[in-house]
Amino acid sequence: MPSALPGLRPQLPSPLTPVEDDRFGRHGVRLLLKRDDLIHPDLPGNKWRKLEPNLRAAAGRPLLTFGGAYSNHLRATAAAGRLLGFPTVGVVRGDELAGRPLNPSLAQCAADGMHLRFVSRTDYRRRTDPDFVAGLLPGTPFPEAYVVPEGGSNAAAARGCTALGRELHGAADVVAVACGTGGTLAGLAAGLAPEQRALGVPVLAGGFLGAEVRALQHSAFGGPAGDWALADGFHFGGYARTPPELVDFAADFEGRHGMPVERVYVAKMLYALVALVGDGAFPRGTRLVAVVTGRP
Ligand SMILES: *Cc1c(COP(=O)(O)O)cnc(C)c1O
């Protein structure tokens, strides 16, 4: 299906690049990088795949969405608003940020025209409660806005991510992706062929992700879809925690392969793959695709 969003010009399908890496090669595993980070300069990776169907559904209406102070999703939404000419509202976690200078991520959102609305952490926890959202809208400049949940993950987004799976038919045995809300994994697994499987690497601690993925698949596809599993134990303490071991790993990967490695998500997924392959988790001959969901 051609993009209904002519202002965006995505590079699709995204490139699939084999890389030589002895940590995989010595176990007979072939590593390929699915370069979703190259889809669009301002809406990279899964953010494009999840936003595109929502932008279609919004049909030019203002868009309101949610995120933390460093949210890639907020930045991508603000950029889409600028490129396509529709208003955006970002509901940001943490009312203590309201009186302070904006961090670079939020400053970029504001420069792209996003109206920022700061809410307390207590209120932010109610972000999926319809009553809370209904009460929030009248206090924004766009009470008629189309609401997209945190991280952009809803049924439309999961359906959008099935294209990622379809682009990999015939080219992969296992496809690994880093998970925040799980929307990308939910759609990826549904889009793969029956003999292929998806492996999600949660970057948040807490163990709630499996239930989230099942709920998203239920709303998007009516029930479970595709073969997927989670590789727990690689969150390094939680969201945005990047201890020196992880930072060193990412810098080393960049040096070996000349590809910028995003630290919050992509580095943890690649680290998990090196560890799992080292433990013999994949049979020889496995074609292992790592989805590069974004860039630094
Ligand atoms: C947002 C994001 C993710 C997480 O995607 P979910 O669909 O929320 O699981 C993964 N990688 C990068 C680079 C991201 O920006």
| Number of helices followed by number of strands (H, E) in the chain | 12, 10
Judge whether residue 4 has pLDDT over 70: no
Question: Which of 43, 74, 179 has most ligand 1 atoms within 8 Å of CB, for mutation?
Answer: 179
**Is the Cβ atom of 265 under 6 angstroms away from ligand 1?**
yes
Q: Looking at residues 57-82, what average pLDDT do you find?
A: 94
- Residue 131 sits in the same domain as residue 176: no
Q: Which domain holds residue 255?
A: 16-44+153-291
At residue 1, the pLDDT reads 40
Judge whether residue 6 has pLDDT over 70: no
Judge whether residue 93 has pLDDT over 80: yes
pTM equals 0.95
- Residue 132 sits in the same domain as residue 167: no
pLDDT in tens, 281-293: 999 999 999 999 9
- Cα maximum dimension of the chain: 59
**Cα(10)–Cα(55) distance, rounded to whole angstroms?**
14
- Residue 128 sits in the same domain as residue 261: no
Asked whether residue 173 is assigned to any structural domain, the reply reads: yes
Other CB atoms within 10 A of residue 296 CB? 12
At residue 2, the pLDDT reads 43
pLDDT in tens, 223-249: 999 999 999 999 999 988 999 999 999
- Residue 217 sits in the same domain as residue 254: yes
> What's the pLDDT band for 9 if we cut at 50, 70, 90?
confident
**Is the Cβ atom of 68 under 6 angstroms away from ligand 1?**
no
CATH of residue 280: 3.40.50.1100
Number of domains making up the chain = 2
Other CB atoms within 10 A of residue 62 CB? 18
Kindly give the residue spans of alpha helices, DSSP state H, lying in 137-243: 155-160, 162-166, 183-191, 209-221
pLDDT in tens, 98-114: 989 999 999 999 999 99
Question: Which of 144, 172, 197 is the C-terminal boundary of a domain?
Answer: 144
- Residue 168 sits in the same domain as residue 265: yes
At residue 171, the pLDDT reads 98
- Residue 118 sits in the same domain as residue 157: no
| Upper half-sphere CA count for residue 20 (Cβ side, 13 Å) | 0
**Is the Cβ atom of 45 under 6 angstroms away from ligand 1?**
yes
